[in-house]
């Protein structure tokens, strides 16, 4: 595993050391990237047969198969990564990357596995996060595994599973009558007041918000390595990514840069077009893309049952827009009705139960097939960022589906109740 050479600001390219915890660039508040000595990495990184090492290990390696391009630390792992890539039954070029197979049921596990690993390495004792729901659950799980306190803030109307997992993992759970942006403000205020009160360092919370520290994006970059490896070290034509905070998309782009620099991708390979998919009820990136703007504006009255997409202004919006444009991709939004229809379509016809976020991507894919912008043989990797089952209450609500068990207890044993 490589040493970190330095942290680099994504905006002003200022360098910072990684020997103490860092948040944002002190000069311009830009997000920080982890950088390695690329010459050393080129010599040491092992693309060949990391899978064989999974067998030699007592646990399956998951995303840590890419240890040779991750910081040199002892992982806090719950088995994240190396998720299935499922070829569509109907569209030969479509591959659904099933991130619901991760611990806590979403891709958030990758970023928080690495970020909590680094927090433990730095000796941090209190981690705080504002979340649309799934990052909160993942932080709670990894913090529990690392014996670190987790302070989680999320909207009170997240999927109930997010609330339950926070409580079950023993986190300090705060349900907020507001959105992730309100949660972020509350975390910031809390940390500010701790500093003003001269709270001892070991009791002060560390803000592990996405893109406000460098390691969540670094963990999520493994999705980029993985999709390329699962396509036999080639790029697909396009990547479809449901975009709330958009950090997975940013992380994958970083992975592509690194793989090209290391030599794991054939020279001259064309990077995939990156599609950022949102819900019409909260589409700041899609709107900015349409309007040709370099950054998004705060999306008022955000509302969609795709809970993970309720991010009114992602911190990395300008990075996302840059990547989408540079790649020749698009940012698109679809409405909740279309998302729900796509959940049912892919469940009935492919056997895959998508999250609402994942179904925003499939719905957009289907639209682009219909317009002819894509063909069914174009190689597309589409991310289902979470398990459909994690949204049981939200999806059932959207379907107006009620538990049949509320029927009279007096029914005789063996009485059958068929829905509809």
What does the per-residue mask of binding to a copy of itself show for 110-139, with x meaning CB under 8 A?
------------------------------
141 binds a copy of itself (CB under 8 A): yes
The answer to whether the CB of 311 falls within 8 A of the CB of 279 is no
Q: Return the residues of window 174-203 that contact a copy of itself according to CB under 8 A.
A: 174-178, 182, 185-186
298 binds a copy of itself (CB under 8 A): no
**Min. distance of Cβ 19 from a copy of itself in angstroms?**
26
Determine the Cα–Cα distance for residues 65 and 110; give it in Å rounded to an integer: 12
Cα–Cα–Cα angle for 158, 160, 164, rounded to 5 degrees: 115
Binder among 34, 67, 69, 161 for a copy of itself (CB under 8 A): 161
Matching residue, tokens 């490896």: 229
Binder among 15, 49, 195, 303 for a copy of itself (CB under 8 A): 49
In the bound state with a copy of itself, the residue whose beta carbon lies nearer, of 253 and 346, is 346
Could you tell me which stretch among 119-127, 163-171, 211-219, 286-294 binds a copy of itself (CB under 8 A)? 163-171
Helix segments in 126-268, DSSP class H: 134-146, 160-168, 180-196, 215-220, 222-230, 247-262
Neighbours of 198 (CB within 10 A): 8
Count residues near a copy of itself (CB under 8 A): 93
160 binds a copy of itself (CB under 8 A): yes
Could you tell me which stretch among 25-33, 94-102, 326-334, 369-377 binds a copy of itself (CB under 8 A)? 94-102
**Cα distances (angstroms) measured from residue 319 to each of 111, 124, 235, 260, 273:** 18, 28, 21, 20, 15
The answer to whether the CB of 355 falls within 8 A of the CB of 385 is yes
418 binds a copy of itself (CB under 8 A): yes
Determine the Cα–Cα distance for residues 16 and 25; give it in Å rounded to an integer: 8
**Min. distance of Cβ 298 from a copy of itself in angstroms?**
13
**Min. distance of Cβ 326 from a copy of itself in angstroms?**
27
232 binds a copy of itself (CB under 8 A): yes
Maximum CA extent, the chain: 74
**Min. distance of Cβ 172 from a copy of itself in angstroms?**
8
Could you tell me which stretch among 24-32, 37-45, 340-348, 361-369 binds a copy of itself (CB under 8 A)? 340-348
In the bound state with a copy of itself, the residue whose beta carbon lies nearer, of 141 and 333, is 141
266 binds a copy of itself (CB under 8 A): no
Determine the Cα–Cα distance for residues 237 and 232; give it in Å rounded to an integer: 14
**Min. distance of Cβ 125 from a copy of itself in angstroms?**
16
Q: Return the residues of window 376-395 that contact a copy of itself according to CB under 8 A.
A: 387-390, 392-393, 395
**Min. distance of Cβ 331 from a copy of itself in angstroms?**
27
Q: What is the dihedral of CA 209, 213, 214, 220, to 10 degrees?
A: -10
Q: Measured in whole angstroms, how far is the alpha carbon of residue 95 from the centre of its chain?
A: 18
**Cα distances (angstroms) measured from residue 35 to each of 40, 129, 226, 258:** 12, 24, 19, 10
């Amino acid at each position: 595993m490589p040493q970190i050479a330095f942290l680099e600001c994504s905006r002003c390219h200022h360098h910072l050391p990684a020997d103490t915890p860092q948040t944002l660039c002190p000069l311009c508040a830009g997000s920080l990237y982890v950088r390695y000595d690329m010459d050393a990495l080129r010599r040491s990184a092992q693309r060949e047969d990391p899978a064989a090492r999974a067998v030699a290990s007592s646990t399956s390696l998951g995303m840590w198969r890419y240890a040779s391009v991750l910081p040199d630390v002892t992982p806090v792992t719950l088995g994240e990564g190396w998720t299935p890539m499922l070829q569509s039954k109907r569209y030969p070029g479509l591959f659904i990357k099933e991130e619901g197979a991760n611990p806590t049921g979403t891709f958030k596990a990758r970023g928080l596995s690495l970020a909590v690993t680094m927090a433990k390495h730095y000796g941090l004792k209190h981690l705080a996060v504002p979340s649309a729901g799934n990052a909160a659950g993942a932080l709670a799980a990894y913090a529990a595994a690392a014996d670190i306190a987790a302070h989680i803030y999320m909207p009170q109307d997240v999927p109930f599973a997010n609330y339950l997992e926070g409580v079950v993992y023993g986190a300090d759970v705060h349900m907020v009558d507001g959105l992730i942006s309100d949660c972020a403000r509350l975390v910031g205020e809390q940390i500010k007041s701790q500093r003003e009160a001269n709270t001892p360092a070991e009791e002060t919370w560390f803000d592990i918000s996405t893109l406000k520290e460098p390691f969540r994006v670094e963990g999520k970059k493994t999705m980029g390595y993985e999709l390329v490896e699962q396509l036999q070290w080639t790029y697909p034509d396009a990547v479809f990514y449901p975009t709330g905070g958009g950090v997975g998309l940013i992380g994958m782009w970083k992975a592509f840069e690194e793989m090209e620099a290391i030599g794991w991708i054939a020279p001259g390979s064309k990077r995939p077009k990156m599609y950022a998919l949102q819900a019409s009820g909260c589409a700041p990136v899609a709107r900015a893309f349409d309007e040709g703007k370099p950054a998004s504006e705060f999306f008022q009255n955000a509302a969609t049952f795709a809970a993970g997409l309720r991010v009114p202004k992602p911190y990395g919006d300008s990075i996302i827009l840059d990547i989408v444009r540079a790649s020749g991709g698009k940012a698109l939004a679809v409405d909740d009705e279309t998302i729900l229809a796509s959940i049912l379509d892919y469940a009935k016809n492919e056997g895959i139960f998508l999250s609402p976020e994942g179904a925003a991507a499939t719905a957009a894919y289907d639209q682009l097939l219909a317009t002819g912008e894509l063909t069914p043989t174009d190689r597309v990797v589409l991310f289902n960022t979470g398990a459909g089952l994690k949204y049981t209450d939200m999806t059932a609500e959207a379907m107006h589906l009620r538990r049949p068990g509320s029927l009279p207890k007096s029914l005789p044993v063996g009485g059958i109740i068929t829905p509809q």
